[in-house]
Structure 1
């Protein structure tokens, strides 16, 4: 598999209320399915920690920073954010060497 330069995002997020882990998983799956359909988004994967089920890692790749910013204007992203299920623990923006 060849990787190409772009606007890569890795984010560690944590569920705010552990009683909502299953709901969060459902909503993250919806976010994942819808985000990968966005123009400019070529990777959007959600991973759940094996050590702590309330921790998730998001792997994302956008064509550029503008595509990433537009991601937050889509209804599916606004819907997820407005539910206030998770908080960002760490966030990295990187690119391929």
Structure 2
């Protein structure tokens, strides 16, 4: 049985006044994440009604690739160390494709 891809939907609410910084960091993070061996894609979306609401849409080849991403130096340093302090809230949902 082949491992199933894992899709991540993450919603980030950026604190007022910090959107430009978060977007600059996400541009770098996206490039590094897309270069990961187990990453299939890493996309960023912005709400049409609230510019501070960002949705990350990611796909990894399997659970191990998600773990590798979350343990990567760029995730630890950029997401946890630099971006999270600039967020009001952050939630992520890991999913598998049904049909």
Shorter-chain TM-score bucket reads 0.7 to 0.9
The 4+ residue runs of structure 1 with deviation greater than 2 A are: 84-87
Which residue of 2 is the match for residue 67 of structure 1? 65
Pair 1:11-2:5 in alignment: no
What TM-score does the superposition give when structure 2 sets the normalisation length? 0.83
What's the RMSD between the two structures over aligned residues? Answer: 1.3
Q: Is the partner of 2:17 in helix, strand or coil?
A: helix
Q: What is the CA distance between 1:26 and its match in structure 2?
A: 0.5
Q: What is the CA distance between 1:85 and its match in structure 2?
A: 2.3
Which of the two has greater helix per residue? 2
Pair 1:93-2:94 in alignment: yes
Q: 1:61 and 1:7 mapped to 2: Cα distance? A: 6
Q: What is the CA distance between 1:63 and its match in structure 2?
A: 0.8
Q: What is the CA distance between 1:18 and its match in structure 2?
A: 1.2
Q: 1:7 and 1:85 mapped to 2: Cα distance? A: 27
Q: What is the CA distance between 1:52 and its match in structure 2?
A: 0.6
Which residue of 2 is the match for residue 41 of structure 1? 39
What TM-score does the superposition give when structure 1 sets the normalisation length? 0.85
5+ residue gaps in structure 1? none
Q: Is the partner of 1:30 in helix, strand or coil?
A: helix
